[in-house]
Structure 1
Amino acid sequence: MLSMITDNLTTFLATWVVLTSVFALAYKWWRKPHRNFPPGPIGVPLLGVLPYLGDKPQETIRQWSEEKYGPVMSIRMGLEDVVVLNSYDAISQGYVRQANSFSGRPSSGIFQLADFLDWGMSFKQYDSDYKCQKTFFSKSLKDYGVGKLEVDKLINEEADIFNEYLKDKEGQLINFKDHFFALTANAVLKFLCGTRYDYDDPTAKALIRALQNE
């Protein structure tokens, strides 16, 4: 008798744990991240709306927006909730008028890793550290002449030199890809270091091979 009661109790507890877990997972799946989160389709567990996007996901999302959810909607891509802006006014509102609120990075995947490893500004969160680095970076570029006529003049001068070099090579077979790479490298060198290399210079060729990892 005691053994039967124990077995029944064990079965009841196991069933209760399973059902509770299922309900908890279902609640977590169906609930929105925030009470003011934009409306939108949730899809199926684990996959979200991925099975319903079809061959042209942008057209499918636009149709959902126009027929039911409006210009600001959300979709669940796998396990991630994504906000989608589907009109010019919505995009302008988000990225121009409220730019500070939409300038962050997704808190998952490669962005978390890149932020942890401090891989430059492109992957950093839009916080005080980012703003400080951006201010310093912008000021440094301006000090070097970015946005000023001097930079345009420098690039035009290098382009003229490159044009004359090509005229001297008329009728000869050249690797235009490497020469164009050299043109770009010379413009950057002149901008940063105040120097340049002739296009047939051995040092320039070695530098280009190093930059191309050859």
Structure 2
Amino acid sequence: MGEAAGGARLVEGGFATAPATLAVGVATALLLIYLWRRPCRKNASPATPLPPGPWGLPVIGYLPFLRGQQQHVAFKWIAEKYGPVFRVKMGAMNVAVLNDFESISEGYSKLLRRPKALFLDHAGITGVSNLNGRPWVENRRFCVRSVTSGSYGGKTMEQQVEDEAVYLAEKIAEAEGEAINVADLVLPSVSNNVTALVMGSRYDFEDERRVFLDNILVRTIRCLAAGAVISVMPIGLRAITTLFFTKFGQMRRIVDDTRKFFRGVPVGQRADFVRRGLPVDLPDYRVAPTQPGRQERHRTAKD
């Protein structure tokens, strides 16, 4: 009798927990559906028309159907059905895809904005890399002017790239035909062109400043690659990614290291440029063409 009573209580307990389990399951499903259907862009109008495209699955969208194939090939197949401009549900986000030259040219020539750098925005990082709107347009104009000008730093950007290419070829030749990882040389070579533009100086590959900067670049690339998931996550779950041990926490530390690097710009070289009346770096060049009106620098550098 005791065993039977115990079995009855167990069965009754099992039936008693069934409604609670069902309620939790239904609530979870409703929450996931809400997060999936919630607009992912804060400023997007609910009435904004979207191009046609496959809907995919709840929460994860069309991502499972893109596995195992190159993305541009999958988009080519989708474009054959829906046209060159279509929409794909990437996780919780609707992504409009421009899949031919004409639509890409029109989109980038007529739009004032560029795609948001969600990873940097979510990590709380602001700067030239994620400028948008009018500040981005004006900043781009100054960058193009500095690259094409023959007065920048006493050397045109074309000359800088040519000199850096010669240096890269010399470093490859030092291997004397042995197998090497060219990426280890290409990364600092390309970065030297950027530092020459931004700071007016480049560094030999063995320079400790060059090694320090290369380490920052490698860490940044890894964080950006892993951080792409933020673009497809529901907004309600993005707060998890701000924890210190995530890629966003690492990105903040990288920014701190980058600030340390830029504080170490060689003072002697800057003083030499100043004596010659040349812009020292890109921010100086942005002011030079508009002297004495420094307010233009303020407008283009501040978002």
- TM-score range relative to shorter protein: 0.5 to 0.7
1-structure distance, mates of 2:162, 2:145: 24
1:30 and 1:40, CA in 2 relative to 1: closer, same or farther beyond 3 A? farther
- Unaligned runs of 5+ residues in structure 2 are 1-18, 40-44, 177-181, 216-303
Q: Distance in 2 between matches of 1:107 and 1:24?
A: 25
The answer to whether the Cα contact below 8 Å between 1:54 and 1:60 also exists between their aligned partners in 2 is no
1:42 paired to 2:52: no
Partner of 2:84: 71
User: Is 1:112 matched with 2:121?
Assistant: yes
* Amino acid paired to 2:125: L
Task: Report deviation, 1:23.
Answer: 10
Match of 2:130 in 1: 123
Residue 97 of structure 2 is aligned with which of 72, 80, 84? 84
Q: For the structure 1 residues 144 and 35, does the alpha-carbon distance in structure 2 shift closer, same or farther, using more than 3 Å as the test? A: same
* SS of equivalent residue, structure 1 residue 91: helix
Select the structure with the greater relative contact order (CA < 8 A; seq sep ≥ 6): 2
Query: 2:76 is matched by which residue type in structure 1?
Result: R
Structure 1: state its 5+ residue gaps.
Answer: 1-10, 198-203
Identity of aligned residues (%): 23
Letter in 2 for 1:128: R
Q: Call closer, same or farther: CA 1:47–1:159 in 2, change over 3 Å.
A: closer
2:37 corresponding residue in structure 1 = 29
Taking structure 2 as the reference length, the TM-score comes to 0.41
Q: How does 1:1-214 map to 2 (within 5 A)?
A: 22=30, 25=33, 29=37, 34-56=47-69, 57-67=71-81, 69-96=82-109, 98-100=110-112, 103-106=113-116, 108=118, 110-113=119-122, 116-118=124-126, 120-125=127-132, 127-141=133-147, 145=151, 150-152=156-158, 188=196, 192=200, 208-213=207-212
- How many aligned positions are there? 173
TM-score, normalization by structure 1: 0.54
**Residue by residue, what CA displacement relative to the aligned partner does 1:91-116 show, whole Å, maximum 9, x if unpaired?**
222223x243xx323373x14236x4
Change (3 A) 1:52 1:128: same
**Counterpart residue type for residue 134 of structure 1:** R
* Letter aligned with residue 113 of structure 1: H
Q: What CA deviation, in whole Å up to 9, does each residue of 1:6-54 have, x standing for no partner?
A: xxxxx9xxx8xx69x9499469639995442111111111100011123
Higher gyration radius (CA): 1
Give the RMSD, CA atoms, in angstroms.
Answer: 5.2
